[in-house]
Amino acid sequence: MSIFVDAGTRVVVQGLTGSQGRFYGLRNRDYGTQVVAGTNPRKAGTDVEGIPVFATVADARAATGANASCIFVPAPAVPDAVMEAAGAGMELVVVITEGVPAHDQARFYSQLRHNHPHTRLLGPNCPGIITPGQCNIGITAGEIAKGGGPVGIVSRSGTLTYQALYELKQKDIGVTTCVGIGGDPVPGTSFVDCLSAFEADPDTRAVMILGEIGGTAEEEAADFLREGMTKPVVAYVAGVMAPVGRKMGHAGAIVSGTKGTAKAKMAALRAAGAEVALNPTEAGELMARVIADV
C-alpha cells in the first residue's frame, strides 16, 4: 500500500502554464501520475501537451475528478492558491513554491485547520511526495526511487530525500511512500502526521526520518516513537556542525541557544528507540540491517 497518494490520485497543477509548472507537471505525467488538469484564469480553454487548462480548480475538479493539487505559483500567490484548492475540495494540496513568508504560512494553515479540515497540506517549500511506480507529485526524480516497500520515508530536506531514495535503491530496498514535508517554519504536514500514517500502513515495515537543525519537529517525532510507534525507525539529522544562531538553508533551520541543535535531536530520537546514523549513507546501511530483522 502507500500513504496519501497512489495510482488513483488525480492531480491538477496550479501554475501548469508557467515554466516550472510545465516542466515538472509533464515529468510527473511521464512518470505515470494522472496529471489531469492545469489552471490559469487567463489561459482557460487551452492545453499543455494535451493536459487541459481551466480557469479555476473547481472547474478542473468538475471536469476531471481531480482530488489533489500541486502548486507552482509565485510566493505572493500561494495563500490564495492554497485556499482555492481547499475550497474546491482537494484532498491533498502540495506546495512546491519556496519563499512563502512565515506569517502567510501560519495564516493559511490556520484557515485550513478551521475551514477545510479534510484537506491535507504538504509544504510549502517541499519536494513533494512519491509512491514509486504509482504517483509522483512534485520535483523528485522518479528514476532514483524503487517501489514495492517495505520502507516509508519522511524528510524535512529535499536533497536528503533524494539521497535516501538513491541509497535504498542501491541496496535494492523498495519504498512504500516518500514524503518531503519541507523545512519551513509552518509545515502543513509534520513528522508525526507521517509516522502515524506509516504506522497504520500494513506494507510499511520500517520508517526513515531525515531531519535537520531548528525547531522541535524531531523531538516531537521522538515523543511519538516512544508513545505510539511499533515499527523500527532509522533517523539522520543534518547540521551537527552548524553554528548557533545562524540560518542554514531552510527558513526553519535556525538554532537558538541549545534549542534545535542536531545533537539534541539525535539524542532524543536515540532515547526513543530509533537507530540514529551519522550520515545519509550510514542511514541506508542501518536500514538494510533493520529490514533484514523484520
C-alpha distances out from residue 69 to 61, 175, 230, Å? 10, 23, 32
What pLDDT is recorded for position 1? 81
Is 116 assigned a catalytic role? no
pLDDT confidence of residue 112: 97
- Give the cell for residue 216: 522541535
Catalytic residue from among 103, 114, 118, 250: 250
Domains and CATH numbers, the chain: 10-122 (3.40.50.720), 141-293 (3.40.50.261)
CB-based contacts of 33, cutoff 8 Å, min separation 6: 9, 11, 135, 136, 137
Q: Three-state SS for 151?
A: strand
Predicted TM-score of the model (pTM): 0.94
- The amino acid at 40: N
118: helix, strand or coil = coil
> Element (H or E) spanning 271, and its range?
helix 262-271
pLDDT at 241: 63
What gap in Å lies between CA 177 and CA 140, rounded to an integer? 12
Instruction: Write the burial class of residue 69 (CB in 10 Å: 0-12 exposed, 13-18 middle, 19+ buried).
Output: buried
Per-residue pLDDT of the chain (294 residues; tens, 9 = 90+): 899 999 999 999 999 999 999 999 999 999 999 999 999 999 999 999 999 999 999 999 999 999 999 999 999 999 999 999 999 999 999 999 999 999 999 999 999 999 999 999 999 999 999 999 999 999 999 999 999 999 999 999 999 999 999 999 999 999 999 999 999 989 999 999 999 999 999 999 999 999 998 889 999 999 999 998 999 999 999 987 666 655 555 555 555 455 578 899 999 999 999 999 999 999 999 999 999 987
- Rounded CA separation 165/140 (Å): 10
pLDDT, position 254: 53
